Chains A and B, each alone.
Chain A
Amino acid sequence: MSVFDTRSSGTGLLVRLGFSDPARTAAALEQAGLWCDGRPVDAPAGEVVAALADVADPDLALASLVRLLQRVPDPSGLREALSSSPPLRRRLAGVLGSSAALGDHLVAFPSDWEVLRGELDAVRPSVYGLQRTLLAAVEADGDVPPDGTGGARAGLTGVTAVAALRAAYRRCLLALAARDVTGAVTVEEVGGEMADLAGATLSAALAVARTTLSDGAAPCRLAVIGMGKAGGRELNYVSDVDVVFVAEPPEGAGPDGVDAALRTATRLAGETMRVCAAVAWPVDAGLRPEGGAGPLVRTLVSHEAYYRRWAHTWEFQALLKARPIAGDLALGQAYVDTVEPMVWRVGERKGFVEDVQAMRRRVEKTLPGDRASREVKLGPGGLRDVEFAVQLLQLVHGRTDTSVRSGTTLVALDQLAAGGYVGREDARHLSEAYRWLRTVEHRLQLHRLRRTHLLPAPDDEAALRRLARAVGYRGDVLRTFGRERAGYGHEVRRLHEKLFYRPLLTAVSRLPAEQARLAPEAARARLEALGFAEPAVALRHLEALTSGVSRRAVIQSTLLPAMLGWFADAADPDAGLRAFRSVSDALGGTPWYLRLLRDEGSAAERLAHLLASSRFVADLLARAPEAVRLLASDAELAPRPRATLESAFVSVARRRDDWEATVVAARGMRREELLRVACADLLGLLDHRQVGAALSDVAAAVLAAALETATRKVTAERRRPLPVRIAVLAMGRLGGREQGYGSDADVLFVHEADAGTPDAEAASIAHDVAHEVRRLLALPAPDPPLVVDADLRPEGKQGPLSRSLSSYAAYYDRWSSVWEAQALLRAAPLVGDAELAGRFLDAVAPVRWPQGGPPEASVREIRRIKARMEAERMPRGADPKLVLKMGPGGLADVEWVVQLLQLRHAHAVEALRTPSTLPALRAARDAGLLEPDDADVLETAWSLAARARDSLTLVRGKSAVSLPSSGRELDGVARSLGYPASSQGEFLDDYRRATRRARAVVERVFYG
């Protein structure tokens, strides 16, 4: 019983059927001869109206049908056929309702509707059939397809040929689209047939291209290799067709024949591309060797030579789908046979692991902005993600397992699941999501036959509704479509976890599994490809972390697949996993820890990155695992201001009476602050200047706590308030706020007796306090030590630890040598009596910024000291060029240049009066004391060396005087300075270059 048997009015009926404007619809239906007086003219007409209503866009379908009936020579014949044949009705309505472009084609070629009659569903056109049809369209012999300069040659030429081929192509497309929209073919079959049609089109275009050759053109064989989706037989309705051209002279041609054959073949290939672009789609030959820069056509040998020598890993990835699709198929097959073994050996190539990692990052890379969320192809969780990930696994496992080498994504996914390389459930879900996304993409493109992967904007309801209906939804289509899309998107989004990492857990699971499991060898191969150096050990850690049924094991099993990816992205994945296990063992089932990892967004990712990048962080965390909570947010990781730190440290010191325990507590706090700065540094939240300042503040806070404690202790011992004021001055890097992770704290102690206190007594008290400060901070404790170095004081180790202000003044007045003046350049107040520190600095101003600069003899002395240090202070056995501080062009070189300029000019140039290196360097440049180019060179070298020094400490866990010349630590340093993985050679080269240039400036400016 039809809907028309109800008593509804015609108008209501049309609205219920889904037409948007009943009055116009009724008029159009009347024009089509299907409607009269608010009802269908007869029962079969009713069926036609119902069929028109049941398509993606009923209004569009009807409008196109009306236009078609006006153009078709025998409208009543068409009407009759529609009435009598339900399949034709469904197909024609379906095509017209899904595709405006095919509607236009039918209007232009009205008799083409006949294509939709008959047993279309039972007969799939063969690749040969399609080829014969399209060759016939350009009047070429379909039995001998062109193979270069041989085989069929088109009878039509130029625009006539293009027009005929386009019409024939559209006719084939029409038949396919009709079966597609009526559900007679699967998504895979559509992709396959489109690829066959592309091959046939190329073949016919080649036959046309032959007509453009001059008579004298040298003979050649030409093969067209389908790459990408055309090669994988998963082509879209409209997309670029990726190809590579291979040519050879015919058998028996002389040695000169190659050049001539290549010329002809290049001409043919270019012409073929032009014809195809005019007929259907652009042909993209960009995947050829050397890409756009390389010649369009090469010989087999030339291809082979290129792939042997120059090709990148991603090029082999592209070759995975190579398949001869037109031209000389024997030559095409020879090409595939040549390159195929190379594809599967790519895993043995140098740099494969790095390339795989780079490719994997590309998989995970997301497009920015609003378009990303509407992209079905390139967006996060889009088609490209699935395809890339599948190819990657094929490259890793296809080396040893020939059963996973299909060029078609869905087939390959099935193969990978069957081999246990991917979880069966995950594969099934992904397959389903992929099919859905491809269906959406097909329907999007079918509408106007345009190459698009962009979903309609959320406010374009009409377009969204049409798309949803085209995909097959009915009813509340917008909601259903939205829900499905979210579901499938979710499925694909955590793709790398599912495809790459989750199967690794099955390899170590003890549970009896129904499904195929990743074999241990395959698990090891994959871990190795992901960058784990000791896969067997990693598997044991995985097993320990995930075995059992505890809440912890369950949460970790869920987290680990993602965390493994993050470990793999960092310099030392093995160390990361090992450290994670030790943190996890220490914190065990602590509820906040598991909650933090599970719920706090990026905390788990940050933890993984830090543990696999920095031994320093891993060691600190191993001693104080509870500090993991710092990772919860950026706010926790921001360095705390000096004042906050100092008051926190000092108040801890005041709370206790056990002096040692007090300082141990303060040092514990320091450890946490170091961790905070290190994490922020490694996560890129701080620049290098901020790191130096933050570490200097932490050192100051600890010293403040130690000074407070020492003062209280000495006071307690003397049982009365101390009649002396004490200040601590920062020197060296600490003075310049350039403190590093492993730096000593360079200081000077200065004191002043209260009125009426004998100098000797004051000196003795100050010495006790200073000594106590050093002792307390040097007590053995499980934290990185802070060595308080007071050796820059007058008379060095022989001199008293603290001096009175007047004693300093007298000393500098009488004895001071120029290196002491130089050291004082970096003096700055640190802790203790600020007023006293200020007076100290006033007192030494004439020493460090001498009026008129130091005498020439002093300048000579500085140069001599420097030259002697270069000879004597170089660590034994090291490559001097890699010694960060004392090496040529290293930190000391630059600092001495700057300090000499300060000594000479600070009396006149006020901006030079700063304890920090870079501000002083820039001031010297601005004052015209250094050429801008020289200043740049010095700044570059100093910054690089300073960053390298800090980074080396973070990576190794302890400081080092020189860069290693190779290895993982160097890799880690290079990465933390922003180099790609495994670029330690490039980094060292850059480092040597920067320091070589700096050294040249030093020779000229400092010694010159």
Chain B
Amino acid sequence: MDKQQEFVLRTLEERDIRFVRLWFTDVLGTLKSVAIAPAELEGAFAEGIGFDGSAIEGFARVHESDMLAKPDPATFQVLPWRESDGAPGTARMFCDITMPDGTPSWADPRHVLRRALGRAADAGFTFYTHPEIEFFLLKELPRDGTAPVPVDAAGYFDLTPHGVSQDFRRDAITMLERMGISVEFSHHEVAPGQQEIDLRYADALSTADNVLTTRHVIKEVALSQGVYATFMPKPFSTQPGSGMHTHLSLFEGDQNAFYDGGDPHHLSKVAQHFIAGLLQHAAEITAVTNQYVNSYKRLWSGGEAPPYVCWGSNNRSALVRVPMYKPKKSGSARIEVRSPDSATNPYLCFALLLAAGLKGIEEGYEMPPGAEDDVWTLSEGERRAMGMKPLPGSLAEAISVMETSELVAETLGEHVFDFFLRNKRAEWQAYRAEVTPFELGRYLPVL
């Protein structure tokens, strides 16, 4: 038993924790949880907890479906919303999934990211991410298909006295901080009811864990305040969607590998190749960064969503934005990818962003010239002339581009690659079969 495991067991005693929730995610990024009593934890550390993998999206078929969840003690946290005065508490840990023979499961999204990070480490890099999670607070969850109603009518950075959203953000952030998740920034976003919470940058595996935790905490806090939080990419036709702009940086040891003081944008060669890789492979990875039918309604809604493959210095309409450099902060050199939405599976999303960038470094891709203008104001012809290709226009298109991508297959591993495509094809077919209110409203009266 190592020190971290000892720490966990001691904490369970000291804080009178009666349940430990073991968390992991399926291939789509949905959080799964199994609760065990503290007495079972020692065994779980040593051998893992067995479960039926066929019950989890994308893990296994019915035969040979036994799998093990092994808690990662470095992720141990007490769940604050279950900690009322004096009552016994609940804690959680993320798990790595293994096969019965102890080798890692290639269906486990955490393992996908771990492998990608391992390849980066072989090249001498550590990968840091900093996600900005947008979401909506709704008065309630409409279950009959009617349009949702946001909790307020405020806008960007608005301070709403005694507003629900303000209390909400305060409570949510307090809880996140109590779970060891540092929040960099939080504010009211552009649309009514829309909020943003930025997590502090950390290594990609921790941030991916943190994204999952944050989504869960936000949903819990909303429930406790009688409202409903959603990470659906585009719940309103006429309002902006919820993205998860993600800042990326590579470090070589303690040095930021993206920084080069001599470059006009302070971008090192490594950063330039990385950006070129992201652009080159942007279309292939879109089915993962924007994994739902609904994602494409955000992507193509204009405004700050970036459906054209280009980069720009501090250009919020570009797919990859290079933020303004703050003098004397070489450590903070980074780039921002703006396509992912808040409903992505962060493990797979980060793994693919990293793989695309690393590919650019390995192959020495050249970075195209940056976009200066608001990409939306350009004409189709101008964009074509400037070599800006569009991202897939729908989930169906994204799937067919991804199908041909060896980069994605290699990064996700064949198992996840295959499952993901099957799942998404099924989603697209189900969507295609649906007759929507749009069609009824538009065609029924006239046809």
Give the interface of A toward B (CB within 8 A). 259, 262, 289-290, 293-295, 298-299, 302, 308-310, 341, 345, 348, 877-879, 881, 964-968, 970-971, 982, 984-985, 988-989, 991-993, 996
Take A345-B2, A996-B414 as given contacts and tell me if A259 and B63 are in contact as well, using a CB distance cutoff of 8 Å: no
Take A984-B101, A985-B104 as given contacts and tell me if A877 and B63 are in contact as well, using a CB distance cutoff of 8 Å: yes
Contacts of B237 in A (CB 8 A): none
Contacts of B123 in A (CB 8 A): 293
Q: Count the B residues whose beta carbon is within 8 Å of the partner chain — how many?
A: 34
From B63, B103, B126, B409, residue with most partner A Cβ within 10 Å: B103
Take A988-B106, A989-B413 as given contacts and tell me if A966 and B1 are in contact as well, using a CB distance cutoff of 8 Å: no
User: Is the beta-carbon distance between A988 and B255 smaller than 8 angstroms?
Assistant: no
Take A294-B252, A989-B413 as given contacts and tell me if A259 and B331 are in contact as well, using a CB distance cutoff of 8 Å: yes
User: Is the beta-carbon distance between A341 and B121 smaller than 8 angstroms?
Assistant: no
Q: How many A-B residue pairs have CB under 8 A?
A: 85
From B101, B252, B417, residue with most partner A Cβ within 10 Å: B101
B3 within 8 Å of A (CB atoms) = yes
Selected contact of B254 from candidates A262, A341, A878, CB within 8 Å: A262
Contacts of B409 in A (CB 8 A): 993, 996
Contacts of A289 in B (CB 8 A): 253
B435 within 8 Å of A (CB atoms) = no
In the bound complex, CA of A989 to CA of B417 (Å): 10
User: Is the beta-carbon distance between A299 and B254 smaller than 8 angstroms?
Assistant: yes
Contacts of A970 in B (CB 8 A): 101
Give the interface of B toward A (CB within 8 A). 1-3, 60-64, 74, 99-101, 103-106, 121, 123-124, 126, 203, 252-255, 330-331, 409-410, 413-415, 417-418
User: Is the beta-carbon distance between A993 and B414 smaller than 8 angstroms?
Assistant: yes
User: Is the beta-carbon distance between B99 and A965 smaller than 8 angstroms?
Assistant: yes
The residue on A at minimum CB distance from B412 is: A989
In the bound complex, CA of A982 to CA of B121 (Å): 21
Contacts of B121 in A (CB 8 A): 290, 310
Selected contact of A967 from candidates B100, B124, B410, CB within 8 Å: B100
The residue on B at minimum CB distance from A308 is: B74
The residue on B at minimum CB distance from A983 is: B103
The residue on B at minimum CB distance from A990 is: B414
Can you give 19 A-B contacts (C-beta < 8 A)? A259-B254, A259-B330, A289-B253, A290-B121, A294-B124, A308-B74, A310-B121, A310-B126, A341-B3, A877-B61, A881-B414, A964-B64, A965-B64, A966-B64, A970-B101, A988-B106, A991-B414, A992-B415, A993-B410
User: Is the beta-carbon distance between A293 and B100 smaller than 8 angstroms?
Assistant: no
Selected contact of A290 from candidates B60, B61, B74, B253, CB within 8 Å: B253
Minimum CB–CB distance for B57 against chain A, Å = 15
The residue on A at minimum CB distance from B1 is: A348
User: Is the beta-carbon distance between B103 and A295 smaller than 8 angstroms?
Assistant: no
The residue on B at minimum CB distance from A970 is: B101
Minimum CB–CB distance for A310 against chain B, Å = 5
User: Is the beta-carbon distance between B103 and A982 smaller than 8 angstroms?
Assistant: yes
Minimum CB–CB distance for A156 against chain B, Å = 32
User: Is the beta-carbon distance between B2 and A295 smaller than 8 angstroms?
Assistant: no
Contacts of A968 in B (CB 8 A): 101
User: Is the beta-carbon distance between A295 and B331 smaller than 8 angstroms?
Assistant: no
The residue on B at minimum CB distance from A968 is: B101
Selected contact of A348 from candidates B2, B105, B417, CB within 8 Å: B2
User: Is the beta-carbon distance between A302 and B254 smaller than 8 angstroms?
Assistant: yes
User: Is the beta-carbon distance between A988 and B415 smaller than 8 angstroms?
Assistant: yes
Minimum CB–CB distance for B261 against chain A, Å = 13
Take A294-B124, A984-B101, A993-B414 as given contacts and tell me if A877 and B106 are in contact as well, using a CB distance cutoff of 8 Å: no
User: Is the beta-carbon distance between A295 and B252 smaller than 8 angstroms?
Assistant: yes
User: Is the beta-carbon distance between A984 and B64 smaller than 8 angstroms?
Assistant: no
The residue on A at minimum CB distance from B111 is: A985
User: Is the beta-carbon distance between B124 and A293 smaller than 8 angstroms?
Assistant: yes
In the bound complex, CA of A525 to CA of B100 (Å): 21
Contacts of A988 in B (CB 8 A): 106, 414-415
In the bound complex, CA of A965 to CA of B430 (Å): 30
In the bound complex, CA of A236 to CA of B440 (Å): 87
Minimum CB–CB distance for B346 against chain A, Å = 18
Contacts of B1 in A (CB 8 A): 348
Take A345-B3, A967-B100, A992-B414 as given contacts and tell me if A879 and B63 are in contact as well, using a CB distance cutoff of 8 Å: yes
Take A290-B124, A993-B409 as given contacts and tell me if A298 and B63 are in contact as well, using a CB distance cutoff of 8 Å: no
In the bound complex, CA of A970 to CA of B331 (Å): 45
Minimum CB–CB distance for A291 against chain B, Å = 8
From B3, B62, B414, B418, residue with most partner A Cβ within 10 Å: B414
User: Is the beta-carbon distance between A971 and B101 smaller than 8 angstroms?
Assistant: yes
